[in-house]
Amino acid sequence: MAEFSLDTIDGLSPNDVVPSVAEHDGLKALRLVLTDDAETPDCPTFARIDGVSFGNGTIELEVAGDTLAGAQPAARGFIGVAFRIADDLSAFEGIYLRPKNGRADNQLRRNRSCQYFSYPDYKFDHLRETAAGEYESYVDLVPGAWTKMRIEVAGETAKLFVHDAEQPCLVVGDLKHGPDAVGGIGLYIDNGTEGFFRNLRVTE
C-alpha cells in the first residue's frame, strides 16, 4: 500500500493543470486548476503521481470539486481519477464526479453525476451516443464538499464507491484498454473546475 497526503506539490507531474497547496474547508490539500490552453474535455488534464504503476487494486482519496467563478454554464465541477495512464499519456482510463449534478432539479442531470471514460477513443459524448446511461450514474453530491471516492479495479472491471457506501454507484465491466493494462495514476479535473485532493491511498 502507498499513501500520499497530497499536502505538497512534490512528487507530481502535472499535465495541463496548475498545482498548488491550499486550505479547503479547514483542511490542507492539493489544489488543481486547468492551464489556460488545456485541451478538454476528457483529456490528460491531471497531476500524475510520480513513481506509481497501477494495474489492479484499489484507489481511495478525498476530493472536493466546484466550478470557478466565471466558468461556462456547462461546467459541473468535474473531479476524479485517471488510472492505468500510459507513460506517454496517450491512453488511460478515467472516472470522475459531476458535483453540480448531484442535487440538480433536473433528473437527467442527476443521472449523470458520475462518469467513466477512456482516453482517447471513448469520451463521455461518444459513450452517450453509443451506450446511453451505461457509463454514468446518479450519486448524491454537494459542490465543494469533501467527498470520499474509492475505485476498485480488477481486470476489465472498475467499481466506484462514494461516501463509504457498501455498494458501488457505478460499475464498468468493459474497461476499454483491456484487462492487462498497467500505468500511472493521476488526479483529474476538467472544464471550469477548482479541485481539491487529499489522502490518496493506493493498494494493489
Q: How far is the C-alpha of 41 from the C-alpha of 94, rounded, in Å?
A: 12
pTM more than 0.85: yes
Using DSSP bridges, classify how beta strands 147-154 and 12-15 pair: parallel, antiparallel or unpaired.
unpaired
Model confidence pLDDT, tens digit, residues 5-45: 999 999 999 999 999 999 999 999 999 999 999 999 999 99
Query: What is the per-residue pLDDT across 55-108, written as a single tens digit (0 to 9) for each?
Result: 999 999 999 999 999 999 999 999 999 999 999 999 999 999 999 999 999 999
Q: Are 36 and 1 in contact (CB under 8 A)?
A: no
Domains of the chain: 2-203 (2.60.120.560)
